[in-house]
Chains A and B, each alone.
Chain A
Amino acid sequence: MSLITAIFALSLLALIIGLLLGFAQVRFHLEGDPLVEKIDQLLPQTQCGQCGHPGCKPYAEAIAAGEAINLCPPGGETTIQALADLLGREPLPLDAEDTSSSIKRVAYIREDECIGCTKCIQACPVDAILGAAKQMHTVLMDECTGCDLCVEPCPVDCIDMLPVPKDWQWPAPSGPLTPAASRIITTDQITNQEAV
């Protein structure tokens, strides 16, 4: 008798809770995914497609769905670390065949050879190439993200990817217990100074 009561009691409990949860599911239904926006903001926006997705937004959506976070070569280690911090995942090493793309590069059209075919203009994902049919084409350096999608379509192969010269900035100190050659109190060049 008590067994039946027990089963009845538990079943009733489970039924009530099930109904309540069902209502809650409908009430708290989620549309869209603002997480994708946050992920997309961390990606470098080169729209190069090296991750296997057609642009940074699709890759952000894939990451939100569970894709690996280490497929972006232009983003490099910084992006992987930032994504790992955001999502609480492990920061894996960069998974790409060509790691040299971590240096910032921009496209440069050799104007003597350009035939004005507009193939590169159509290929550029951020409209960084100025030109028109049968007119000279030129790359706007400030807008170019270095994705090198324009190199392939060029029929006369007149586009080079040149490294952008990096501005000088204060170098990082070498860290504790490493003998730095010379360091004054506040500011110094890390290289050894020659006596005057």
Chain B
Amino acid sequence: MTTTWIKRSFHGGIHPPENKHLSSLAGVKTAALPKEVILPLANSTLQPLVEVGDKVKTGQLIANCSKGFAANLHASISGEITAIEARPFTHPSGLSVPAIVITSDEQDTHFEHSAYPLWRETTDEQLLEVIQQAGLVGLGGAGFPSAIKIQGAKQQDIKTLIINAAECEPYITADDLLIQTQAKELLEGIAILQRLLKPEAILLGIEDNKPEAIIALETALKEHPLAADLEICVLPTRYPSGGEKQLIQLLTGQEVPSGKLPVDIGVLCHNVGTLYALHSAIVLGQPLIQRLVTVTGQAITQPGNYWVRLGTPINQLLKEVGTKTTASRLIIGGPMMGFTLNSNNYPIIKSVNCLLLPTEKELPLPGVEQPCIRCGQCELACPAQLLPQQLYFYSANQAYEQAADQQLFDCIECGACAWVCPSEIPLVQYYRHAKAELRQMQTEAIKAEQAKQRFEARNARLKQEALEKEAKRKARAEATARMAAAKKAAAEKEANQPAASKAKSTNQAATSEAALDNKKLKQLKTAKAAATVAVRKAEKTLGNLEVNPDATPEQIYDQLVMIDKAKEQLAKAEAKLAEAAPLQETTE
């Protein structure tokens, strides 16, 4: 076991006031069981497996994704499903998505899932199956399904496994307290992942503002088999050292190439919260139903870290925790990368790691945006080594393509540039808007290309059909003409016509006569067809009248007369056709 103090650094970064003491000194508590939980089906591929009225137990699977793109959803309390309807979703847009609402029966009976305390003797496939079933997602904030991440990583060669305990964002102390209280379980989780991925090195990155957590880790590691493989790396506190790419650069010195993922350079990162949940899922058989949430801010009476069941409405949690003054806003997440919601009528979901309720004095609202003075401070602060000033000018003037050329999509939206900007320009909002517009333009371009291909295919098809029709018609005309000519020639041979020109003219007459007869034949056929249709129609109307209770006897009689007339017409047409038919041979 080694504790290394990292001397490397990444470009830029800032030192905002941490304010972690508000919540880190209060320890970990468990929030009361909520009366009702709202579990949103955030992905349209998630299918509910329960219906309104069903009784569920804590930890029971209530929604899964057949295609495997989203993580499973489990009931976080036991009770009855009261609704599956649209509910506000904890997302910057504040829009609603379909959600499963469970009313608690206050019993909290657990569903028995299979646990694997002796996971060292289980197969990899079995472990992956449990991870898939347990609905684990990245608890650092992004919420990517862990099963997909681990399975994808297994197919690549992972040389370095990085455990992200940096928690660089101000105010948030969830990971800090998790390590302090659950260090042994965390190490078990890391061991499980080590078993699955078999990396060459395991590095745990933690900032130096968490001395208690470091000591707790070192103590737990002394008696753990991971002692030989795990290296604790202490980082100098800087925002955003917890960003995936920045952490990789700090711990390994390697940079993730633009547009690529860490797996492409043989590195995988996982948050400590995710690994603790991994341990719970495998060793205790408990799927993801709760998480540690920091509730902090000077407007909170008892700031601290709380184990909260997923789906707990925020207003209930805040009532329990207590708000002593009016907060200026409700921030989900931290002050740098969180978002505000305009009410507290939202549920705690898997990706919520902090609730921040600051007073106006604590985090004042920013002033009016001023024009850019080209000071260049933003470029000095950017951890991704981009040019925020250029990105700003391109995004603000709708030159989105040029912004993309400046690697806009490599921006991690950490907010360091906006924090240093003396003109108080909301830079990250410009970048997010530009990224959205670019994605929109890409989708439209693909659609336009598809439409163009369909249009050209259709034109080609119509042209082809026209050519075929033309060819067929020509062939038929030639064939009939040839037939007629042959017939006439035969007839003339019998009649002994010596003059060639006379024969020719009669031939011509014959061909034209043949053509005329052909036409007449066609007309007679059409007439017969029309007559047949007329009869059928008349019979149908009669049928309708007969079932119609309002039909009068006169109507029915008239209809019968009409049918007779139609049948007469049909007979006439057939007779005419029979007359004309033996005179001509048809090729049909």
Contact = CB atoms under 8 A, between A and B. Distances in A.
A–B in direct contact per CB < 8 Å: yes
A132 to B, nearest CB: 15
B211 interface: no
A120 B418 CA distance: 54
B433 A126 contact: no
Nearest to B337: A186
Contacts of B419: 185
B327 A189 contact: no
A47 B451 contact: yes
Interface stretch (B26-34, B198-206, B366-374): B366-374
Nearest to B443: A167
B118 interface: no
A25 interface: no
Nearest to B456: A57
B433 A172 contact: yes
A27 B413 CA distance: 55
Interface stretch (B75-83, B423-431, B523-531): B423-431
Interface residues of A, number: 40
B357 interface: yes
A119 to B, nearest CB: 15
B415 A186 contact: yes
B369 A180 contact: yes
Nearest to B423: A176
A52 B335 CA distance: 54
A56 B452 contact: yes
B344 A196 contact: yes
Task: Among B331, B450, B451, find the residue whose CB has the most chain A CB atoms closer than 10 A.
Answer: B451
Contact of A187 (B366, B428, B440): B428
A194 B330 CA distance: 9
A143 interface: yes
B432 A187 contact: yes
B371 to A, nearest CB: 5
Nearest to A171: B433
A100 interface: no
B193 interface: no
A195 B327 contact: yes
Given A173-B426, A196-B323, A196-B327, A185 B95 contact: no
Nearest to A47: B455
A100 to B, nearest CB: 19
B326 A196 contact: yes
B228 interface: no
B454 A169 contact: no
A183 B429 CA distance: 9
Contacts of B371: 176-177
Interface in A140-196: 143, 145, 168-180, 182-189, 191, 193-196
B448 A182 contact: no
Contacts of A94: none
A29 to B, nearest CB: 28
A45 B448 contact: yes
Given A127-B457, A180-B369, A182-B365, A191 B92 contact: no
A176 B369 contact: yes
Given A184-B335, A196-B323, A196-B327, A168 B93 contact: yes
Given A184-B335, A189-B340, A173 B433 contact: yes
A143 B339 contact: no
Task: Among B327, B357, B426, find the residue whose CB has the most chain A CB atoms closer than 10 A.
Answer: B426
A176 B421 CA distance: 13
Task: Among B430, B436, B437, B452, find the residue whose CB has the most chain A CB atoms closer than 10 A.
Answer: B452
Contacts of B562: none
B458 interface: yes
A46 interface: yes
Given A170-B432, A180-B368, A194-B343, A187 B451 contact: no
Contacts of A128: 454
B429 A193 contact: no
B451 A46 contact: yes
Contacts of A172: 429-430, 433
Interchain residue pairs A-B with the least CB separation, the first 6: A186-B415, A169-B436, A170-B432, A126-B454, A45-B448, A45-B451
Interface of A: 40, 43-47, 55-56, 125-128, 143, 145, 168-180, 182-189, 191, 193-196
29 contacts: A45-B452, A45-B455, A126-B455, A143-B450, A143-B451, A145-B451, A169-B440, A170-B429, A170-B436, A172-B430, A174-B369, A177-B371, A179-B368, A183-B369, A184-B365, A184-B366, A186-B414, A187-B92, A187-B339, A187-B413, A188-B340, A189-B339, A189-B341, A195-B328, A195-B329, A196-B323, A196-B327, A196-B329, A196-B343
Given A169-B437, A169-B440, A186-B418, 5 more contacts: A44-B451, A56-B452, A126-B455, A175-B369, A186-B414
